[in-house]
Each structure stands twice: as C-alpha cells, then as structure tokens.
Chain A
Amino acid sequence: MNSLRTEERTGRFGMFGGQYVPETLMNALMELETEYKRCLEDPEFWAEYHYHLKEYSGRPTPLYYAENLTRAFGGGKIYLKREDLNHTGAHKINNVVGQVLLAKRMGKTRIIAETGAGQHGVATATICAMMNLQCEVYMGAEDVKRQELNVFRMELLGAKVNTVHSGTRTLKDATNEAIRDWVANVDDTFYVIGSVVGPHPYPSMVRDFQRIIGDEVKQQILALEGRLPDYLVACVGGGSNAMGLFYPFINEPDVRLCGVEAAGLGLDTDKHAATICKGSPGVIHGMMTLLLQDGEGQILPVHSISAGLDYPGVGPEHAYLHQAGRAQYTAVTDKEALDAFQLLSMTEGIIPALESAHAVAYVRKLALQAGKDALIVVNLSGRGDKDVYTAAEAMKAGGIEVQMMKAGDPA
C-alpha cells in the first residue's frame, strides 16, 4: 500500500464520515471548514499552536524506553509515548489548543464541549481560562457521579458544567446535548469536539491537531533506533489519540497499526464498547461510522471500566482504516486493563489512565508473538490519577489484591 488516501472525497473516508446534522448547522460547518482550511495553510496559526503546546503544555512529550515493562512482558522493545505528561494529564489538550485558537480567529466568544470522564472537559476549561473565553461543558449525570472531582476541577477553572439527564446519561447523551446547544447558539458559539468524531470537518480537524503525537514519535524513534517502529499501539474510544499516533505512519506499509477497544466484561456479553470489533455501519452524532446498535438502528448502551472508552461510535477514519485493512483493531477486557494498570504502576512507576491501560494490556499479548527485536510504541494517552478510585473499587470487587513485587522481579 503505497499511498492510502483516506479522504477520497471531502469529508468522507470511504463510505464513512459525512455531515448528518440539522440544516440549522450546515452553514456553520461550512464556515468552520473554510476557516480551518485557511489555518492549515497559515504558518502563523501553527506557530501559535506550537507555542502554546511547548510553553504551556510542555511538549514535546518524551518517548520513553520502558525497560522494566519490556523485561516483564518478555518480548519486543517497548517505548511509551508519554502523552500523560501533558498539562492536564492527557493528549486531549493538543486538540483543544487548536480548536480554541480557531474559535478565536472566527470571533466566537462562547465555547461548549462534551465530556465523558472529564478529561476533555478539563482540558477545554483550562484553555478557556487561559484564553479568557466563556466555557460550558456537557456531562452525563452518570459521569458527573463517577467523576465528581473533575466536575470540581472544571468549575474551579471557571467553566459551567451542565448535567445531562437524557438517554443513558453518559458521553453519548452529553454529545447530543452539546449539539443541541450549538444548534440554538450557532452564531456566537464554537463547539470543541473532544475526539475524531462528529460531522465533517471535525474528524479531520481533530486528527490534524493530534497528529503532533505521531510526528514527534517518528522523529524520536529515528533518533533513538535509526528506524521506524514495527508496531504502534493505542486505545480507541472515539479514537483521537490513536488517530494522532497512526496518521503520520499511514503510508509506511511496514508499520503495523493496532487499535485497542474496550471489551468490558467480554465481547460475548452485551457489556462492552468494542465498536469496530462488534459494530455495524450507521449514523451517530452527525457521522456515518461503525456503531453498536440494534436491528432497528437504536443506539445500544455500552460499557467499559474506562469512561473515556465508553462510547457506542468511533471516528469514521478508524472505521475506514479497519475496512481497508490498514489498521487492526482488537479488544481487551476490564480485567485485563486493570491488570495492566497495576503492572505498569509497579514496573515503571507510571500510573496510566484506564484508557491507556487497555493499550498496555494488548502489548502484553503482542510482545510475546512479536519477537525480541520488534519495536513497539504504545501511546500512553493519559495519566491514571483520575482513575485510582475506580480502580480501587474494581479491584476490591474483583478480589484482586495489590501484589507485592520486588523491583527487578520478572513478572
């Protein structure tokens, strides 16, 4: 595969993507596309974007050779892309900086966002505080309960958090509500979507603001190893950290792209969020993509221990990469992710977000079959501080004890 052009026509990735939104939003989406395309060509825009990511968020993030983890897994050579070291603790801020700069250019004075676990909400509230913009975040009532501290963080940063009680009261419904707000306030409001989802141009735009992850990895691995990696591994909910890592490597046919979805309690149960592994084509949140739905097109409730992967759809470009066979998507269970959460904490002293722990859990399986010399880059998309309570509860409920292990012990 020499050149995989993912956007075959505007806003489409093969059969996926598009703009399935109310007519009221169509002109706003077109204006957004025009302005975003202008920014793509504007060195001043990118200079500002890079300035904030360097001076404010601390980029570039390290590509860390995880020697202990490599030894524990007994295969491959594992590097961690430390997106958890960004300001606010996850990759989300890369995209928010880009979109808020765009919003300012377009003269919008009010920012809205949806959030699941609260990471994207916190990142948006943070950048709005710094750039002095009014910010409202929609969050499902279930998530507000599960992530009380993130609600406090957002409020501390000056954002208004709107609790969403409709539907399943999670990320899906928070997204619906943010879209409804946008329909009502489209003149002065910019909707900062948190992942590579939604109507065109969002999936492409968010990817372009996240590709900095993959661009850095490419430079870093060449400097460290003198060659490209064999495997890139990232978790996929909506899929923005994975898309950001994968995108600069799409036309490097020897680099294998592995997306890891949430298998929840198991792919053979109805409690998972493995959209690509188990879904079918349909429309959600303005895009044609793969999604978890019943035979009549009603969107199904999903489950993952990780709130950031708890989403019934997926970015349309991932659906396309899957269909085209360019990327492979698998899923790991809550239990496997929890084990990896614990293992990375103990071997490397890095507490990963439960989302990112899914990617680590898959590497455990991959490392053995990949062979000693295989270079594996895992996107450590976020830090796990937000998850320690959830993890403690789940480990207690599952009868998992925190294992004592001496440093250097082979696992």
Chain B
Amino acid sequence: MRIQQVFEALLSCGKKALIPYITAGDPELAVTEAAVLAMDQAGADIIELGVPYSDPLADGAVIQRATQRALEAGTNIHKVFDLVESLQGRIKAPLALLVYFNPVYQYGIGDFIAKCAAAGVAGLIIPDLPLEERTELQKTLEDKGRPLDLIPLVAPTSRERIAKVVTGATGFVYAISSKGVTGVRKQFAENLESFIGQVRAATNLPVALGFGIGDVETVAKIKHLVDGVILGSVLVQMIESAEAKEEAVEQISSFIRALRSELG
C-alpha cells in the first residue's frame, strides 16, 4: 500500500499514523527483522528503516551508536534491500528508508530508485538532501513514474521555505519538532503550533512530527497538531539496553501497542 493511502484510511476513521524507526542491522539484521514483524503486528502504520552510514550528521548519539553497531556487524545496503524484499507480503505497513545521500549517490541515483522500487520500498527520507540539491533525484523519480515517495523535511527554521519544500511532494511531510539532531528531548520548538500551521497552509499532504518524541505522554500532548508521529531514538535505546534479542522485541512491541491505543 502506498504511504498516502495509509494516511487516508487512518484519517477517514479519525486515527493518527504511528511511524516507528529503527536502524537496520542493529545489532544484527535478524533483530531488525523480528522487530519489524513485531511492530507491524502491534499496530505500526509505516515503518522507517535507517540505512547505517559512517557519518550520520543529522543523528544524535543514540542513533550514531546504532549505526556504528550495524556497520560493525557487516550491514550494508545490499543486505538491507534483501531484508526489505523478504518482508514483502509478511507485513501490512509500508517501509520507508532513511538514508544519507552519499550511499545513494555511490549506488547511482537511477539504480538506487529502481532497486528501491523492485524491493518494495514505499518512501525515501534523505536528511542531508535539501530542496536545492534534490532536483536530479526528483527528476529521476518522475521519469520512472514515481514508484515511491521522496518525503520532504521541514524544520521550525524553514519559514518561507516551507511552501517551496512541499511543492510537488508526495507521501507525507516530515515536520522536525525542534532545532537539533535526533534524540529524545523534553522541549520542542516554541513556535511548534504556528510552524505546523504554516505547513498546513502550504500543503494538503498529511503531516507527521518527528525528532525527540520519546513517550506516550508527549504523543498525547502533540497528537492534535498532526496526522502522525515518528519515534526513533527511544526504540533504538530499547534495543541497545536489552540483554537479549527477545527482550528488546517484546519491549518494543508493548511500547508500540501503548502508542497505538493513544493514537486511535
């Protein structure tokens, strides 16, 4: 199912999208696979998989450590594609990849998109590819008939750029909750409400909020503003601190269920 259809189905019954993130291959791909299956079962609507990269400059310490563990375990883009392929038909939630631009560029933009489409990737999030640099990738997507969505990111500092960033976008808009890198935090941007208002005014696409959201209480507080929430570091932390693989998957699963009941 396409990302936009997921949102449409949720909106029509008054629900919000739950979008969890984990780093692929942390600490090994078998754990990622088990966690994805469990999150899908527990009620995740879209699942975001991070492709491990040596220099993740939009990520905080928790996800940096996860990508390092994944790389040390020998995870690479080919193995991530294999995992995505193997998950098709076994989960309801569409998969989105969070990937830094250099690995995409080395793969070849055209080949990367073709491979994503063939493997069943529904969306791409590229945190270091702003509007000014995305032209080639966007054109390639269009030439191939938009087999997947390039999810645009907007930040509380984007201001007049918001309209340009969301123009022609598909899927949903990824709204960054606050200035800073990924990682659980207590405070979001002071102008969060007006920022989301600006995004709403610029697009009819669904809007999901990410960066820093770490518990059910926070989700309860901000859910009225947006159509979905994205949680990453808190889940990665569960994997990091669990003593056994089963424990991590179980913990993630019950956390997703709690979030699900909050989000309808």
Q: A residues bordering B, Cβ < 8 Å?
A: 18-28, 166-167, 172-173, 176, 179-180, 183-187, 281-286, 293, 295-299
Contact = CB atoms under 8 A, between A and B. Distances in A.
Contacts of A179: 57
A19 B107 CA distance: 20
Contacts of A22: 57-58, 127-128, 130, 153, 155
Contacts of B155: 22-24
A293 B76 CA distance: 14
A295 B106 contact: yes
Q: Which one of B56, B57, B103, B131 has the highest number of Cβ atoms from chain A below 10 Å of its Cβ?
A: B57
A273 B75 CA distance: 25
A22 B64 CA distance: 16
A21 B180 CA distance: 12
Contacts of A20: 101, 128-130, 133
B180 A296 contact: no
A297 B64 contact: no
A23 B153 CA distance: 7
B180 A184 contact: yes
B221 to A, nearest CB: 22
Contact of A23 (B60, B101, B130, B181): B130
| Chain A contact residues: helix, strand, loop or mixed | mixed
Of all A-B residue pairs in the complex, the 8 with the closest CB atoms, nearest first, are: A297-B106, A184-B180, A297-B103, A24-B155, A297-B102, A298-B54, A283-B102, A299-B54
Contacts of A25: 157
11 contacts: A19-B132, A20-B129, A21-B57, A23-B131, A23-B176, A24-B157, A26-B161, A166-B68, A295-B106, A297-B103, A299-B55
Given A172-B55, A282-B102, A21 B128 contact: yes
Interface of B: 53-58, 60-61, 64, 68, 71, 76-77, 100-107, 127-133, 153-159, 161, 165, 176, 179-181
Given A20-B101, A27-B158, A296-B103, A167 B55 contact: yes
Nearest to A280: B106
B61 A166 contact: yes
Given A180-B57, A297-B53, A299-B55, 7 more contacts: A20-B130, A21-B128, A22-B128, A23-B153, A23-B154, A24-B158, A26-B132
Contacts of B158: 23-24, 26-27
Contacts of A19: 130, 132-133
Nearest to A24: B155
Contact of B101 (A167, A186, A283): A283
Nearest to A20: B128
B127 A27 contact: no
A106 to B, nearest CB: 15
Contacts of B128: 20-22, 283, 286
Contacts of B107: 296-297
B103 A27 contact: no
A295 B128 CA distance: 20
B21 to A, nearest CB: 16
A282 B104 CA distance: 10
Given A27-B157, A298-B103, A184 B181 contact: yes
Given A24-B179, A26-B158, A27-B157, A282 B130 contact: no
A298 B53 contact: yes
B106 A183 contact: no
Contacts of A187: 179
Contacts of B129: 20
Given A22-B153, A24-B157, A167-B68, A297 B130 contact: no
A332 to B, nearest CB: 27
Contacts of B57: 21-22, 176, 179-180, 285
Q: Which of B56, B102, B105 has the most CB of A within 10 A?
A: B102
